[in-house]
Chains A and B, each alone.
Chain A
Amino acid sequence: MRNSSWGFLLMFLSAFLLDLDAFELRKGQKTERISGSAGDVLEDDPVGRLKVFVYELPSKYNKKILQKDPRCLNHMFAAEIYMHRFLLSSPVRTLNPEEADWFYTPVYTTCDLTPNGLPLPFKSPRMMRSAIQLISSNWPYWNRTEGADHFFIVPHDFGACFHYQEEKAIERGILPLLQRATLVQTFGQRNHVCLKDGSITVPPYAPPQKMQSHLIPPSIPRSIFVYFRGLGARAAVWENFKDNPLFDISTEHPTTYYEDMQRAVFCLCPLGWAPWSPRLVEAVIFGCIPVIIADDIVLPFADAIPWEDIGVYVDEKDVPNLDTILTSIPTEVILRKQRLLANPSMKQAMLFPHPAQPGDAFHQILNGLARKLPHDKSVYLRKGEKVLNWTAGPLADLKPW
């Protein structure tokens, strides 16, 4: 008996040690585990942890809009369309609304594009209102909780404030009807009107195939210190560092943009029109440490991904000292950040691949939703109780869509 227990102990120890080694040599490269404030949750499987019911809306809310303008599939806000498609065929979907934990309304509010491809948010509030009116009159589930167990994907610049200009967006505030719902949006800024508590911040859509096709062998040495290609909005960086040989910055997008990012140590992700930026996704995919220059920004899946360990935060007022800040980071810290970035689950969490793959952004959204379960008893309203004001908001929004 004693021998067998010793044997077990030895086996356990050896397994533990071997496990460590195996983890270190996984896929031939050293990567580090990513543990955010919600734990090691990037690899969680949401299947079985929640059930989502997808409302059947008339196609004028989704398919017809897409047919009118198929460019919506490729722009930064395409997440709303792909999420709908993913949910339709996902195992978390349930056809029985009685057992659903979350309800999804497939309305493509960001698909009204200008000739240049930029989305116009002017009709979006009316569209959303009209969709909510529909679901509240045809199904009882909205009125049961006034939307507290519903979630909406609002990937546009300032989320459910539905405007691209910050002042106007703040003026409008979040659409009153969405006060109780969970919002899945790209916008995230602390202490901002347009970021509701409990929202799930997601990365903007970046085409996965396009990025995969530009991968170069990882053994090519990284020789650029700081890399940035972007529009004139990042003028502070340009003015201060255009003469600095360590900074490879320009306003023109070369065709080798993705390859160049893979040859850089740091990639700048300054704020643009809205605080978030697709540069962050690109930096993570290409293993370039993101330098986030946006005060109070809330980054995607912030509870699952420890962004402070992965990227470098620089206050906007500290931009003139960017070179001092970056060169004073200790080498071990930089190498650790690169190891975290090399973790494939990190890269996968930033992408919306089609078909969906385990650990990708769709699954992270579902994980986020699953973490909010079970719903608090207070979300269920008593009979006749009304919280939402259906007539709040600018008059123009009340017009039917």
Chain B
Amino acid sequence: MKLQALQQSYANRGRSNSFRGPSALDSSVDGGTTAAVKSPASIFWLILHCFCCLISLVLGFRFSRLVFFLLFSTSSINNLYTSTTTSFGTASDIAETLSFTSSNRNLSPLVVNNTSTVATTSRVVVGRHGIRIRPWPHPDLKEVMKAHKIIEAVQREQRVQYGIKNPKTLIAITPTYVRTFQALHLTGLMHTLMNLPYDVVWIVVEAGGATNETAALLAKSKLQIKHIGFEKKIPIFWEARHKIESQMRLQALRVVREEKLDGIVMFADDSNMHSLELFDDIQKVEWIGAISVGILAHSTHSDDDPFEVQKTMDEKDDKKSESPLPVQGPACNSSDQLIGWHTFNSRVYKGKHANYIGDMAIVLPRKLEWSGFVMNSRLVWKEAEFRPDWIKDLDMVVAGDGNDDIESPLSLLKDSSMVEPLGSCGKKVMLWWLRAEARADSKFPAGWTIDPPLEVTIPAKRTPWPDAPLELPSNVGKTTIVTQDNTTEKRATKTRTPRTKRTSRGKRKRESRNADARRNSGERIEN
């Protein structure tokens, strides 16, 4: 309804300032005269109309509109008028006038204004000024930067308002040892910790004593690291390894106790995967909290499908407590209170799991993994006044060094119902447990730098350098040129016979290519 009314009003307006071309003017000029009688003015307009039509055909748009605008507009266009009337002859002249008019800034917004008001009725113009467009409607770089600074400030304020207030230091405890996959796991964990907006103290306990290799890896981060050596070495068997790892974590807890580190302790195993949301969530812990851990018990080349086995188990026992989901963590009732634990059901995998590191089978976690717990560091401090009554003293639980082993931090509690379930009561999994290891005897380059250079395993078939070994400068890049040298040598000895075989077809091409290559490489090496 409104649109129709507007259309009407604009049609009315359109009728009053007509831009419709000579036909309208014909009728307004002629008035009473019939179509048969042609006054000089009408003949002039007719000729003009013909010209405009021809020019429009050539140029491809309605030129007459522009012309009539120039003729009838109120701004100072006298010069332009004369220029346009004199230049009706050739299309090139018209093009010149067009470019002249378009460069005149006065005109362009007005032209657009008029076309916008008259052209389409779907574009509703209600504003009192019409549409103003600045001549270069593109973003200014300085303003874009300013806008981004504004957005940054707004987001910072949002974090202050709605995010965590007074974040505590994060104390991450990681047991590790030198092996093939260490760099893979530690780098991932290191980068996760480096990305946190909180203060981090990273306690890395290394089995077999603190080594330079691990230290070099850790030095790449800018974190505050306590690199502690642990005398025993990691054993081959997983069961024993889990035990040693627990001891290593206890050692770290002793360090926390002695140095009275203040913050939130979490157990970040080097092969686990942590989501950044996890670290935001654990800031909420008061004394001891539990989170849900997704268990990625990976299996490689195992004959049986583990899921198949699980299904048969489900059919047999229809107990609800058998959770098919590989998640360990707190279980809550509907009012978000801790009522129990989801533990990993290792019965399913009996006899099919890995026994030693590098075994091609599923690596199983323990019932409740350490990484699923976070605690306030004050729990392990010596002085009893810092912790509530339902926490046992660390020294009481752990009988000093030696063969102590506590399965999980729950042993530190007298009352395990005081554990706070985090991650929306365990519903959100923000941490995944994974054990991926190569065989214990697998080799890897120390520090993952290749020095001395490797033996060639597969020579390159098409090399840009010639067969004959060249004298290369000694200090040009270790790996690449040296291997090239090797390949050329090897090629010289090995591949002569295949080359002779291949000569029939592409000999000429090859020779020319080789010649070019030789020329090129020769030039290169001379440089």
Interface residues of A in 138-166 (CB under 8 A from B): 164-165
Tell me whether A355 is interfacial, beta carbon within 8 Å: no
A323 touching B157, Cβ below 8 Å: no
With A232-B122, A241-B137, A246-B144 in contact, is A118–B150 under 8 Å at CB?
no
A165 touching B5, Cβ below 8 Å: yes
Tell me whether A137 is interfacial, beta carbon within 8 Å: no
We find that the number of chain B residues with CB closer than 8 angstroms to chain A is 38
Tell me whether A86 is interfacial, beta carbon within 8 Å: no
With A30-B161, A218-B162, A243-B138 in contact, is A225–B124 under 8 Å at CB?
no
Contact of A326 among B137, B147, B149, B155 (CB under 8 A): B147
Chain A residue nearest to B126 (CB atoms) is: A233
Tell me whether B501 is interfacial, beta carbon within 8 Å: no
B1 touching A271, Cβ below 8 Å: no
Interface residues of B in 101-141 (CB under 8 A from A): 116, 122-129, 131-134, 137-140
Residues of A within 8 A of B317 (CB): none
B129 touching A225, Cβ below 8 Å: no
Q: How far is the CB of A308 from chain B (nearest CB, A)?
A: 19
Give CA–CA (A208, B123) in the complex, Å. Answer: 31
Residues of B within 8 A of A232 (CB): 122-124
Q: How far is the CB of B275 from chain A (nearest CB, A)?
A: 16
A244 touching B163, Cβ below 8 Å: no
Residues of A within 8 A of B161 (CB): 29-30, 218
Q: Mark A115-130, 1 if CB is under 8 A from B, else 0.
A: 0101010000000000
Residues of B within 8 A of A167 (CB): 9
With A30-B161, A245-B139, A338-B157 in contact, is A223–B151 under 8 Å at CB?
yes
Residues of B within 8 A of A320 (CB): 132-134, 137
Q: Mark A210-246, 1 if CB is under 8 A from B, else 0.
A: 0000000111011101000001110110011101111
A327 touching B146, Cβ below 8 Å: yes
Tell me whether A321 is interfacial, beta carbon within 8 Å: yes
Residues of B within 8 A of A244 (CB): 137-139
With A219-B163, A221-B158, A245-B139 in contact, is A236–B134 under 8 Å at CB?
no
Tell me whether B143 is interfacial, beta carbon within 8 Å: yes
A240 touching B1, Cβ below 8 Å: no
A222 touching B129, Cβ below 8 Å: no
Q: How far is the CB of B160 from chain A (nearest CB, A)?
A: 9
B158 touching A245, Cβ below 8 Å: no
Q: Mark A274-296, 1 if CB is under 8 A from B, else 0.
A: 00000000000000000000010
A334 touching B154, Cβ below 8 Å: yes
Q: How far is the CB of B147 from chain A (nearest CB, A)?
A: 5
Tell me whether B153 is interfacial, beta carbon within 8 Å: yes
Tell me whether A272 is interfacial, beta carbon within 8 Å: yes
A225 touching B147, Cβ below 8 Å: yes
Tell me whether A399 is interfacial, beta carbon within 8 Å: no
Give CA–CA (A225, B133) in the complex, Å. Answer: 21
Contact of B153 among A271, A273, A331 (CB under 8 A): A331
B154 touching A335, Cβ below 8 Å: yes
Tell me whether B461 is interfacial, beta carbon within 8 Å: no
Tell me whether B220 is interfacial, beta carbon within 8 Å: no
Interface residues of A in 307-340 (CB under 8 A from B): 316-317, 319-321, 323-324, 326-329, 331, 334-335, 338
Give CA–CA (A338, B151) in the complex, Å. Answer: 12
Q: Mark B445-476, 1 if CB is under 8 A from A, else 0.
A: 00000000000000000000000000000000
Residues of B within 8 A of A165 (CB): 2, 5-6, 9
A265 touching B150, Cβ below 8 Å: yes
Give CA–CA (A295, B128) in the complex, Å. Answer: 10
Tell me whether A89 is interfacial, beta carbon within 8 Å: no
B150 touching A327, Cβ below 8 Å: yes
Tell me whether A114 is interfacial, beta carbon within 8 Å: yes
Residues of B within 8 A of A239 (CB): 131, 133, 137
Contact of A338 among B6, B124, B154 (CB under 8 A): B154
A245 touching B132, Cβ below 8 Å: no
Contact of B1 among A118, A317, A321 (CB under 8 A): A118
Tell me whether B159 is interfacial, beta carbon within 8 Å: yes
Q: How far is the CB of A162 from chain B (nearest CB, A)?
A: 14
Give CA–CA (A340, B138) in the complex, Å. Answer: 32
Q: How far is the CB of A331 from chain B (nearest CB, A)?
A: 4
Contact of A331 among B124, B137, B150, B159 (CB under 8 A): B150
B131 touching A235, Cβ below 8 Å: yes
Residues of A within 8 A of B122 (CB): 232
Residues of B within 8 A of A241 (CB): 137
A319 touching B163, Cβ below 8 Å: no
Chain B residue nearest to A237 (CB atoms) is: B131
Give CA–CA (A328, B1) in the complex, Å. Answer: 42
A331 touching B131, Cβ below 8 Å: no
Give CA–CA (A164, B153) in the complex, Å. Answer: 42
B150 touching A225, Cβ below 8 Å: yes
Give CA–CA (A321, B143) in the complex, Å. Answer: 11
Residues of A within 8 A of B138 (CB): 243-244
A273 touching B140, Cβ below 8 Å: no
Q: Mark B1-42, 1 if CB is under 8 A from A, else 0.
A: 110011001000000000000000000000000000000000
B144 touching A218, Cβ below 8 Å: no
Chain A residue nearest to B135 (CB atoms) is: A320
Q: How far is the CB of A228 from chain B (nearest CB, A)?
A: 15
Interface residues of A in 68-125 (CB under 8 A from B): 114, 116, 118, 120
B153 touching A316, Cβ below 8 Å: no
Chain A residue nearest to B112 (CB atoms) is: A239
Q: How far is the CB of B484 from chain A (nearest CB, A)?
A: 47
Residues of A within 8 A of B127 (CB): 233, 236, 271, 316
Residues of B within 8 A of A231 (CB): 124
Contact of B132 among A219, A272, A317, A329 (CB under 8 A): A317
With A118-B2, A324-B140 in contact, is A236–B150 under 8 Å at CB?
no
Give CA–CA (A245, B144) in the complex, Å. Answer: 8
Q: How far is the CB of A23 from chain B (nearest CB, A)?
A: 15
A219 touching B158, Cβ below 8 Å: yes
Give CA–CA (A240, B146) in the complex, Å. Answer: 19
Chain B residue nearest to A167 (CB atoms) is: B9
Give CA–CA (A79, B133) in the complex, Å. Answer: 37
Q: Can you add 8 more A-B contacts, CB < 8 Å, to A219-B158, A240-B134, A331-B150?
A: A218-B158, A236-B131, A236-B132, A244-B138, A245-B139, A316-B128, A321-B134, A323-B139
- Which are the 6 A-B pairs with shortest beta-carbon distances? A219-B162, A320-B134, A327-B146, A221-B155, A327-B143, A331-B153
29 example contacts (A-B, Cβ-Cβ < 8 A) are as follows: A29-B162, A164-B2, A221-B154, A232-B124, A235-B131, A236-B127, A236-B129, A239-B133, A240-B134, A240-B137, A243-B137, A245-B144, A246-B147, A265-B150, A271-B126, A272-B126, A273-B126, A316-B128, A316-B129, A317-B129, A319-B132, A320-B133, A327-B143, A327-B146, A327-B150, A335-B153, A335-B154, A335-B157, A338-B154
